[in-house]
């Protein structure tokens, strides 16, 4: 990495970091104000919300980092262009693509670091935060683990492996105790909510009584749980926060049970494409700042870069549901917007202005 690479890359990198910090503080403040309405629910108080917000910050940072790459890139390169430094770099034989590549040399390791943060740290931290919130909101009766959901109903403990998009439960196990004595163990393949209670289907129960083990199989059994469809809807969103490994496991589970896995496949491809998406953001930021200022002012170029980048962001957001509604392969919905805007950015970088 040469001196010019370090100079250009440092300017872009520092601006991206500053923009990330600003966005994180702004969204953190808005999130905290919004969550203050939960004070008084169960054991939730002001001190709990402070800690809960701190646990949410890594996820907010990863969520808004692509926007920070766009804004930081267009602001940093715009400042270099306004001071004629980009013109000087081009006059000594460095192409536009070379200037952008110089920025990528320092920015891309940060992109990979944020990607790793989103894969390794954020899912576990957010699961822990959700666990804490539900435990405090329900006075300690509900606990969410990284592997699923656990409920306590009196002297019974219920574990739920998966929550489905239709608010049903899959792979449920129940341990009933009488004091320290295990009374029975029940396993249900599926649970549905009907008339204020959960109906468990295909239940296998083992009853321990008088020194005997009695197996029982029931087609249906009614369970009363401290869980309603509204909470299931919240828990059902956990697939969005799964890692790539977790998504692969969940997709295999859905396929094995004849469930539609298209939305989770789309999320998987979006996660895999995330580093490339951020690179496209930087290319779009760079594609509008080059050119003589006598034709278009630098302020207008910066605004154009921001608009173009947000257009790409919106296209990515609409591409996913459009692919699902149109019955297109999920990989097309995840990759097509990035590929089209990548080609557009390259065209703009090569165009004579």
DSSP-derived secondary structure for 195-206: TTEEEEEEEEEE
- Is residue 296's pLDDT more than 70? no
* 22 and 102 co-located in one domain: yes
* 51 and 133 co-located in one domain: yes
- pLDDT score recorded for residue 301: 73
- Is residue 239's pLDDT more than 70? no
Whether 230 is covered by a domain: the verdict is no
* 255 and 285 co-located in one domain: yes
Residue 49 corresponds to which tokens in the numbers above? 């919300």
> Which residues does 134 contact at the CB level (< 8 Å), separation at least 6?
142, 143, 144, 231
* 268 and 333 co-located in one domain: yes
Whether 88 is covered by a domain: the verdict is yes
Q: What is the mean pLDDT of the chain?
A: 81
Whether 237 is covered by a domain: the verdict is no
Domain count of the chain? Answer: 2
Final residue of a structural domain among 170, 195, 225 = 225
- pLDDT score recorded for residue 58: 92
- pLDDT score recorded for residue 312: 84
Final residue of a structural domain among 175, 191, 225 = 225
* 154 and 132 co-located in one domain: no
Q: Is the pTM of this model over 0.75?
A: no
- Is residue 141's pLDDT more than 80? no
Question: Residue 286 and residue 76: Cα distance in Å, rounded?
Answer: 9
Q: CA-CA distances (angstroms) from residue 187 to 142, 143, 166?
A: 19, 19, 20
Question: Residue 209 and residue 29: Cα distance in Å, rounded?
Answer: 56
150 CB-contact burial (10 Å; exposed 0-12 / middle 13-18 / buried 19+):
middle
Residue 13 corresponds to which tokens in the numbers above? 């990198």
Whether 236 is covered by a domain: the verdict is no
Mean pLDDT of 165-187: 86
- Is residue 47's pLDDT more than 80? yes
- Is residue 292's pLDDT more than 60? no
**Residues of the domain holding 176:** 142-225
* 174 and 301 co-located in one domain: no
Whether 334 is covered by a domain: the verdict is yes
Mean pLDDT of 88-112: 83
Whether 327 is covered by a domain: the verdict is yes
Mean pLDDT of 320-338: 82
- pLDDT score recorded for residue 1: 58
* 134 and 148 co-located in one domain: no
- pLDDT tens column, 181-191: 889 999 999 89
Whether 324 is covered by a domain: the verdict is yes
* 314 and 272 co-located in one domain: yes
Q: Got the DSSP string for 306-319?
A: HHHHHHHHHHHHHH
- Is residue 95's pLDDT more than 80? no
Percentage, residues of the chain above pLDDT 90: 18
* 42 and 157 co-located in one domain: no
* 11 and 121 co-located in one domain: yes
With cut-offs at 50, 70 and 90, classify the pLDDT of residue 310: confident
Mean pLDDT of 69-77: 87
* 123 and 260 co-located in one domain: yes
- pLDDT score recorded for residue 282: 85
How many alpha carbons lie under 13 Å from residue 340 in its C-beta half-sphere?
A: 14
- pLDDT score recorded for residue 352: 47
* 215 and 85 co-located in one domain: no
Question: Residue 32 and residue 50: Cα distance in Å, rounded?
Answer: 8
- pLDDT score recorded for residue 138: 65
Percentage, residues of the chain above pLDDT 70: 88
Q: CA-CA distances (angstroms) from residue 36 to 29, 32, 50, 325?
A: 11, 6, 10, 37
- Is residue 233's pLDDT more than 60? no
- pLDDT score recorded for residue 206: 92
Final residue of a structural domain among 190, 225, 260 = 225
Mean pLDDT of 276-283: 87
Whether 50 is covered by a domain: the verdict is yes
Question: Residue 349 and residue 77: Cα distance in Å, rounded?
Answer: 13
């Amino acid at each position: 990495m040469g001196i010019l690479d370090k100079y250009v890359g440092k300017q872009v990198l520092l601006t991206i970091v500053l923009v990330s910090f600003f966005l994180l503080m702004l969204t953190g403040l808005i999130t905290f104000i919004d969550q203050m309405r939960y004070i008084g629910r169960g054991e939730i108080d002001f001190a709990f919300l402070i800690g809960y917000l701190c646990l949410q910050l890594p996820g907010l940072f990863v969520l808004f980092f692509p926007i920070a790459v766009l804004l930081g890139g267009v602001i940093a390169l715009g400042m270099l262009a306004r001071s004629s430094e980009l013109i000087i770099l081009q006059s000594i034989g460095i192409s536009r693509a070379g200037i952008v590549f110089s920025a990528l040399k320092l920015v891309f390791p940060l992109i990979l670091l944020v990607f790793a943060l989103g894969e390794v740290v954020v899912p576990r931290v957010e699961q822990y935060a959700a666990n804490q919130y539900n435990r405090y909101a329900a006075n300690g009766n509900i606990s969410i683990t990284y592997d699923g959901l656990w409920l306590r109903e009196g002297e019974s403990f219920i574990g739920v492996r998966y929550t489905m998009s239709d608010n049903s439960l899959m792979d449920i196990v129940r341990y009933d105790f009488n004091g320290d004595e295990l009374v029975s163990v029940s396993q249900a393949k599926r649970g549905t909510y009907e008339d204020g209670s959960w109906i468990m289907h295909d239940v296998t129960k083992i009853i321990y009584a008088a020194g005997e083990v009695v197996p029982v199989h029931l087609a249906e059994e009614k369970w009363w749980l401290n869980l309603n469809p509204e909470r299931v809807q919240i828990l059902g969103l956990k697939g969005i926060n799964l890692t790539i490994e977790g998504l692969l496991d969940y997709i295999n589970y859905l396929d094995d049970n004849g469930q539609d896995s298209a939305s989770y496949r789309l999320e998987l491809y979006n996660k895999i494409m995330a580093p490339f998406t951020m690179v496209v953001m930087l290319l779009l930021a760079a594609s509008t700042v080059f050119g003589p200022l006598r034709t278009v002012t630098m302020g207008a170029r910066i605004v154009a870069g921001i608009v173009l980048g947000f257009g790409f962001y919106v296209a990515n957001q609409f591409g996913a549901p459009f692919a699902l509604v149109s019955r297109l392969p999920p990989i097309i919905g995840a990759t097509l917007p990035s590929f089209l805007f990548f080609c557009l950015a390259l065209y703009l970088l090569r165009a004579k202005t």
